[in-house]
């Protein structure tokens, strides 16, 4: 080999706008923390209260198991809300996703409207949807199911549409050349190709739905969240801990179950 080659400079000169951008981001982070973080003395007092002998943590332990059976029934209702909301959301997400997909949408305007609705459903938090549906159908699990359904249309609609956009177009073109109808192409070529992705998205939607359904009760939309709120309001922290632990078991069980199904099916 001939002589050594000089290593390049460690840092390259960047354009001025890049430096400005970096400074703006750093300033945003610092001001955000400064304006919202708790004062240190408050944090210190709060932590001391939390761990004191008569404090919050001490009152939580041991968890109160006297009402486990009632909590279990409410947990079942929460799971049913999650399953119903996810199932309805997935069913409605599918046509929305078709309308939002470039090659499958009947018209560009329809595609834009479908994409806009999916983005809107996804952007508004499910707690806000829950409050909206409580006004429409009243307190209880029905409002929760509807909130979860809308949230899942936004979530699954986006991922279903992305999967359909990415599907190999060859088989679709082959069926189009045969003279197949739009529905024929969708169900014969697109759906089989997207099935692994659809399955993964559906299972993630169920997991998301289970986590969401536990919180919806906080605003009165049914499920275990109502009991958690009441337990906190009445300072029954030992019962609240029982509810939190049982919710944790449910969420972990659903996640493990969906991981197992994903591994088997995909």
Partner 1 sequence: MNALHVAGTTMAGSTPVGPVLQVSGLVKSYGGPTILQGVSFTAFAGVSLAVIGANGSGKSTLLKCLIRLIDPTSGRIEMLGHDVGALSDRALRRFRSRVGVVWQKHNLVPRISALSNVLHGVQSRMSGPQSWWQWAAPEPVRAEAMACLARVGVADKALQRVDSLSGGQQQRVAIARMLMQRPQIVLADEPDASLDPQSGEDVMRLLSDLARQDGLTLIVISHRLEHTMEFSDRIIGLSNGHIALDVATAKADPVKLRRFFDTPIAGAP
Contact 56, 49 (CB under 8 A): yes
Name 157's Cβ contacts closer than 8 Å, sequence gap at least 6.
Answer: 93, 96, 97, 100, 114, 118, 121, 122
d(CA 59, CA 14): 57
Specify the residue, 18 or 168, whose C-beta has the smaller distance to partner 1.
168
Q: How many CB atoms lie within 10 A of CB 219?
A: 20
Q: Which is nearer to partner 1, 165 or 238 (CB)?
A: 165
**C-alpha 197: how far from its chain's center?**
16
Helices (H) and strands (E) in the chain, counts: 12, 0
* 80 vs 188 by CB, closer to partner 1: 188
CB of 197 to partner 1, least distance (A): 11
Whichever of 67 and 176 has its CB closer to partner 1, that residue is: 176
The residue among 21 and 192 lying less far from partner 1, judged by its C-beta, is: 192
Number of residues assigned to the chain: 266
Please say whether the dihedral angle defined by the alpha carbons of residues 141, 147, 149 and 151, taken in this order, is positive or negative.
negative
Rounded-to-integer distance, Cα 12 and Cα 26, Å: 21
Q: Minimal distance in Å, beta carbon 169 to partner 1?
A: 9
Residues contributing to the site for partner 1 (CB under 8 A) = 168, 170-171, 173-181, 183-184, 187-189, 192-193, 195
Tell the smallest beta-carbon distance from residue 152 to partner 1 (Å): 25
For the bound state, the minimum distance from the C-beta of residue 182 to partner 1, rounded and expressed in Å, comes to: 10
User: Residue 108 Cβ, how far from partner 1 at the closest point, in Å?
Assistant: 16
């Amino acid at each position: 080999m001939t002589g050594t080659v000089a290593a390049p400079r460690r840092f390259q000169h960047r354009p001025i706008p890049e430096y400005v951008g970096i400074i703006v981001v750093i300033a945003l982070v610092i001001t955000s923390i400064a304006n919202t973080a708790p004062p240190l003395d408050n944090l210190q007092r709060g932590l001391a209260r939390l761990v004191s002998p008569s404090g919050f943590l001490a009152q939580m332990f041991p968890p109160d198991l006297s009402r486990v059976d009632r909590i279990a029934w409410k947990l079942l209702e929460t799971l049913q809300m999650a399953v119903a909301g996810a199932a309805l959301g997935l069913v409605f997400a599918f046509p929305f996703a078709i309308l939002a997909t470039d090659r499958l949408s009947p018209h560009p305007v329809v595609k834009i409207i479908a994409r806009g609705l999916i983005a809107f459903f996804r952007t508004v938090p499910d707690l806000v949807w829950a409050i909206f549906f409580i006004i429409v159908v009243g307190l209880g699990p029905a409002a929760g199911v509807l909130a979860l359904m809308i949230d899942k249309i936004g979530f699954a609609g986006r991922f279903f549409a992305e999967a359909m956009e990415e599907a190999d177009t060859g088989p679709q073109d082959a069926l189009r050349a045969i003279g197949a109808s739009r529905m024929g192409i969708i169900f014969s070529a697109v759906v089989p190709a997207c099935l692994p992705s659809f399955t993964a998205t559906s299972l993630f939607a169920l997991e998301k739905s289970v986590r969401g359904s536990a919180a919806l009760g906080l605003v009165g939309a049914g499920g275990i969240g109502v009991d958690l709120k009441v337990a906190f309001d009445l300072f029954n922290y030992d019962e609240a801990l029982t509810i939190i632990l049982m919710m944790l078991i449910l969420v972990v069980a659903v996640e493990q179950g969906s991981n197992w199904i994903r591994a088997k099916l995909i």
